[in-house]
Amino acid sequence: MKVRAQMIQSGIQLATEIKRTMKSFLLLVQENKSNLRKEMFPHIIKSIEMLKAIEVEYKTKKFLINKWVVLVNRFTCE
């Protein structure tokens, strides 16, 4: 249970961190009215792909995750 809870938590934290970092980066570029360098495109694409992969993983395993959350809550409350 503990491992599953940590995996769920770390996945959510990873997605949040990727999203915040990309949002901050794009806002900085926009605020400074600068152009994106071509070298940055692979990094941007990779972060978008990671976010999509995390989203797909959570959507496909939503039922299992909900069951795990219930079990984790029971385990921690007892």
Note the pLDDT of residue 20. Answer: 92
Domain residues for 55? Answer: 2-77
For 41-48, the CB contacts below 8 A with 24+ separation are 47/18, 47/21, 47/22, 48/22
pLDDT of residue 73 exceeding 80: no
Quick: pLDDT tens for 12-44. Answer: 888 889 889 999 998 998 999 888 889 989 988
Residues 3 and 72: their CA atoms lie apart, in Å, by 10
Number of domains in the chain: 1
Q: Where are the alpha helices (DSSP H) in the chain?
A: 2-31, 41-60, 62-77
**What pLDDT is attached to residue 60?**
80
